[in-house]
Structure 1
Amino acid sequence: MPPEAPVADPESALVDQLAALSRVMVGFTARTLAGLDTELTLSQYRTMVLLAARGPLRTVDLATVLGVHPSTATRACDRLVRRDLVARRQGTTDRRVAWLTLTEAGRDLVGEVVRGRTERIRDLVRAAGVAPSADAAGLVTALVAAAGEPTEDQWWREWAGSVGREPGV
């Protein structure tokens, strides 16, 4: 039996466990996508989530958020456009600018994946047998905010409000 590892400081222990949890969450998303037989990569799904959460984006802005070169974002979106999950629309004020938006099929798919992943997380919380606490929820909320992401409630409100939103708005 290997010797026990020394007890890490509380911050390192938290970071290590959150890193492990992030692998679980990515797995949930990947399994949910696979269960829907979408043949969608995680990076393509992330692109769609950003469009759902932030509304119409220019390719250059999407690339910045994704941390990739604009040509990489363009190629990824080309695939999503061909599958009718993302649409390109000309701007109303500057016709040279194309805005990327989710199609209805794209919105439906994102919603289905988010709901499926949420159910898997709910099952995991129940299986853990640990009583949820305000401290744990507060920690997660603070981490989500620090990452610049909306809370789950904010995400769903924005998602619901994105129906029919015009590019550039």
Structure 2
Amino acid sequence: MTSSHRRGPRTADVSSAVESAAEVLTALWDRTQQTSKTRVSPSQMQALAIVERHGQINLNGLAAELDAIPSSASRLCDRLQAAGLLTRAASVHNRREVMLALTRDGRALLAEIGRNRHQALARILADMSPAGREALFTGLSEFNEAVTLADADESWERHA
């Protein structure tokens, strides 16, 4: 490790600051999600985001990404389908496989929540100094890179 990585705040202090920021962001995410006309639970929101990221995903894939058993994921999808946010269809490759996709309303909900979050963050960031925003941008960029590297070698599991 280079000496430039050793200077600065203690790792424990930065870790505490990241935890605090994560709590604030979680509260902000929940608050912006609740401003929507269509209310969904955090687990439903997570499922919608996973389906959006994949375009289409089978039920077992969704369950794996949610770290849930397929029957629980299926019940979650039942509620999303009943709300008109998700569709299910048999796979063209394997009729026993159920494929999930967002409906137009599901995509619109995610877009609305994304806009709400962006606006809320923009208001907060506008209150920061330009130097503070630059430091935050640089720090978050490095943090994301470190997480990506940790995910690549799965070393984070050994340190958790």
**TM range, normalised to the smaller chain?**
0.7 to 0.9
Percent identity between matched residues is 24
**Which aligned pairs between 1:51-90 and structure 2 lie closer than 5 A?**
51-90=51-90
Q: Deviations over 1:114-155 (max 9, x none)?
A: 12111211222222332424522422432563586xxxxxxx
> Does residue 141 of the first structure (1) align with residue 144 of the second (2)?
yes
> Does residue 44 of the first structure (1) align with residue 47 of the second (2)?
no
Give the Cα separation in 2 of the matches to 1:144 and 1:120: 25
Taking a change above 3 Å as real, the CA distance of residues 82 and 116 of structure 1, as seen in their structure-2 partners, is same
For structure 1, the residue ranges without an aligned partner over 5 or more in a row are 1-8, 149-169
**Which aligned pairs between 1:66-145 and structure 2 lie closer than 5 A?**
66-129=66-129, 130-133=132-135, 135-142=138-145, 145=148
- Pick which of 39-48 and 122-131 moved more: 122-131
Partner of 1:159: none
Give the Cα separation in 1 of the matches to 2:123 and 2:143: 18
Q: Deviations over 1:16-37 (max 9, x none)?
A: 2111111112212211121113
Deviation at 1:58, TM superposition (A): 1.0
TM-score between the two structures when normalised by the length of structure 1: 0.75
RMSD of Structure 2 on Structure 1 (CA): 1.9
How many residues align? The count is: 140
- Pick which of 104-113 and 51-60 moved more: 51-60
- Pick which of 85-94 and 125-134 moved more: 125-134
Partner of 2:17: 17
TM-score between the two structures when normalised by the length of structure 2: 0.79
Q: Secondary structure at the match of 1:88?
A: strand
Give the Cα separation in 1 of the matches to 2:72 and 2:149: 27
Give the Cα separation in 1 of the matches to 2:58 and 2:72: 13
For structure 2, the residue ranges without an aligned partner over 5 or more in a row are 1-8, 152-160
Letter in 2 for 1:132: E
